[in-house]
Structures are given as C-alpha cells and as structure tokens.
Amino acid sequence: EVLLVESGGGLVQPGGSLRLSCAASGFTFSSYWMGWVRQAPGKGLEWVANIKEDGSEKNYVDSVKGRFTISRDNAKSSLYLQMNRLRVEDMAVYFCLGGPHADYWGQGTLVTVSS
C-alpha cells in the first residue's frame, strides 16, 4: 500500500519557521519527482515546489522563492519543506505528492500563521 504521511505543521507567528516532512512508503520514492501543493482555508489548490528524483532540480512558485526550500532524502524515502519568514498568506494545508504521474497524495498537514 502506498502511503504519504505529512508532519510538522502547526501554529507559528509571522516571520517564524517550520519544517514539514513527508514520509513515503509503498513505492520507489527515489525514482520520481516529488512536490508540495497547498490549499488555504476555503480556497483552491496552489503548487508550491517540486524536486527532481536526485535533488538536482528544484522549482518554486514565485511567492515562496527565497523563503522556502524543498529537499529530499532518498535513503529515508522522505521529502521536506523548510519554510522560513512565514507570512499570514502561507497559512494552508500542505500536501505532498509524487509518483510516476502525481499518482500519490498525502492527507496534508495544517500550517497556521498567526500572532
């Protein structure tokens, strides 16, 4: 069974940092691009970032460039999102996804940015 399990969400003040993790199992994690998508409360989906199989290419939505860093550890089948200088508008459920054709989604982790 394929599982993507996100963790690391929580309440943080504006300007703070969080590190999200996504633990993958049930598929060959190291063979596929992985990414993060977020959904603000009551809003649509927004692509945040993705990373190539070997980590050699990383891409970001403009609004997070310079603040967020995506990374992966293929030995641990894990995906990460380091989020710095968080803003109120970053508040959302963050989903990890990946697989041959974005086959697999996690259930999401909620990031709340509030003072």
Partner 1 sequence: QAVVTQEPSLTVSPGGTVTLTCGSSTGAVTSGHYPYWFQQKPGQAPTTLIYDTTNKHSWTPARFSGSLLGGKVALTLSGAQPEDEAKYYCILFYSGARSWVFGGGTKLTVL
Residues of the shown chain interacting with partner 1 in the complex, contacts defined by CB under 8 A: 35, 37, 44-47, 50, 57, 59-62, 95, 97, 101-103, 105-108
Strands, E assignment, the chain: 3-7, 10-12, 18-25, 34-39, 45-51, 58-60, 68-73, 78-83, 92-98, 104-105, 109-113
102 within 8 A of 2, measured Cβ to Cβ? no
Report the nearest approach of partner 1 to the CB of residue 16 (Å): 26
Residues 79, 98 contacting (CB under 8 angstroms): yes
Residue 14 vs 61, nearer CB to partner 1: 61
Query: Least distance from C-beta 7 to partner 1, angstroms?
Result: 15
Q: Min. distance of Cβ 100 from partner 1 in angstroms?
A: 9
**CB-nearer residue toward partner 1: 13 or 52:** 52
